[in-house]
Amino acid sequence: MDLGIDGKVALVTGGSKGIGRGIAEGLAAEGVRVALTSRSQETADEAAAAIEGARGYAFDSADLDAIPALLERVEGDLGPLDVYIANTGGPPAGDPLSFTREQWQAAHRTLVLSPMEILERTLPGMRERGFGRVVAIGSMAVREPIDVLQLSNAHRPGLVAAFKTLAREFARYDVTLNHVHPGRIATARVADTSGSMEAAEASARETVPAGRLGRVEELAAAAVFLCSRQAAYITGTGVRVDGGVTRSI
């Protein structure tokens, strides 16, 4: 299927590894010019070198003051943004009452303030050009809170609500905003929260209806489709890629 996004420009934050890397690769395969970020310029460059049409940029999602310069560089190199993938590493896991004020503030900054700052600077241009696709990588925790992920439980639903508001405002301009909510995907994050990848795989065999961990490319396929021309009538919603593990409707 031709997704109709050949030649578009995308920003994928946290795009050097894991889910972000998979989405960057999926977009590039559709002919999208991809800007991917990592905290380290070296890491970003290494990832971009392996993806045709990609360029790497150093960016820490917690550094809100760095956003204007990042966007200026990306648009100067590749052109105005048509697609934004809001992806970042999750906040730390732990006892729900164990987190410091600084950790709470950091989670809010990276999970809510950073993507909103980028959207405030990019959505008006998408509206003027009559096309835009925004996909945030959330978590199944927005539907069913996960005991050890209190910071994620508390902050990710806020971005979902913000996207719902913006989706209604921008839908008439062919600008969509959606979430993809991963379940247990085979990434370093899942290995860390489970103790090891082997432990995560063993748990998935027993508790996930699909009987396994999800693959990065399976989640990336959903995200890339939401960026397509064909997905123009899908906005303000969330797609769960979880192998059936979420019990809520």
pLDDT, tens digit (0-9, with 9 covering 90-100), for 160-177: 999 999 999 999 999 999
User: Any idea what the CATH number is for the domain that residue 204 is in?
Assistant: 3.40.50.720
Q: Identify whether 199 is part of a domain.
A: yes
Total structural domains within the chain: 1
Q: Identify whether 3 is part of a domain.
A: no
Q: Identify whether 248 is part of a domain.
A: no
pTM of the full structure: 0.96
Q: Identify whether 236 is part of a domain.
A: yes
Question: Which structure tokens are listed for 111?
Answer: 């999970």
Q: Identify whether 14 is part of a domain.
A: yes
Q: Identify whether 31 is part of a domain.
A: yes
Q: Give the tens place of pLDDT for each residue, 66-121.
A: 999 999 999 999 999 999 999 998 899 999 999 999 999 999 999 999 999 999 99
Q: Identify whether 246 is part of a domain.
A: no
Q: Identify whether 1 is part of a domain.
A: no
Which residue's entry shows tokens 């979420």? 246
Range of the domain at 170: 9-241
- pLDDT class of 247 with cuts at 50, 70, 90: very high
